[in-house]
Structures are given as structure tokens and as C-alpha cells.
Amino acid sequence: MAWLYLIISGFGEVGGVTFMKLSDGFKRWRGTAGAIAAGFVSFYFLSKALLTIPISTAYGIWTGIGSIGSVVLGMSLFGESRDWRKVLFLAMIITGVIGLKIVSGGH
């Protein structure tokens, strides 16, 4: 269950930064409310995951999910660059997240 909590918290992180962008510097209430709600979900489920998963693994994967999701949404929703180098480094983050999961063993 801890891994599911960690994935949910990662998606909450992606939602939080996406809503933060949509909040226009916290000037728009819908984006601001979304950022606060998504941030709560992210930190709540991260805290649940940390009961079982070591912090070094959980935090690395959480930030990886947040980074990957933010880059993908930035490219697809906000017209950010799809430069091949950006995609290459994104693949490196994905590889790192998978590696953390593999070396975490039975946790």
C-alpha cells in the first residue's frame, strides 16, 4: 500500500505545481485553491508512504514523479520546449526513479 501512497503523492505534486502555474502568482483563486488541495494530497500521502518506505527512496521517487509529470504537462499544456536534450534528461530521471525502486528491495 505504501507504494500506492507514494504514487498518489507524486501525482499530487504534479497537480500542485500545475495549479500553481494556473494561479498566476496566487492571484486567481481557482488555481490557488487547486494548488493548496493538491499540495495537501501530496504531503499527506507522502507522509503515509514514509511509514514504510525509506526516506531516501521515497523522496527521490516523489521528486522524480513530480519532475517527470511537470515536464510532460509543461510540454503538452503550456507549449514548453520539446527539445531532444530535455527528453534525454527526462529519460535519465525515469531511469533513476526505476533504479531507486529496484535497489529499495522489499520495502
pLDDT, tens digit (0-9, with 9 covering 90-100), for 4-45 = 999 999 999 999 999 999 999 999 999 999 999 999 999 999
pTM of the predicted structure, to 2 decimals: 0.86
- Cβ-proximal residues to 49 (8 Å cutoff; 6+ apart), any chain: 2, 3, 5, 6, 9, 58, 62
- Cβ-proximal residues to 80 (8 Å cutoff; 6+ apart), any chain: 71, 74
CA–CA separation, 10 vs 33, rounded Å?
18
* Cβ(65)–Cβ(13) below 8 Å: yes
pLDDT, tens digit (0-9, with 9 covering 90-100), for 44-100 = 999 999 999 999 899 999 999 999 999 999 999 999 999 999 999 999 999 998 898
- Look up residue 94 and give its amino acid: I
* Spans of all domains in the chain: 2-103
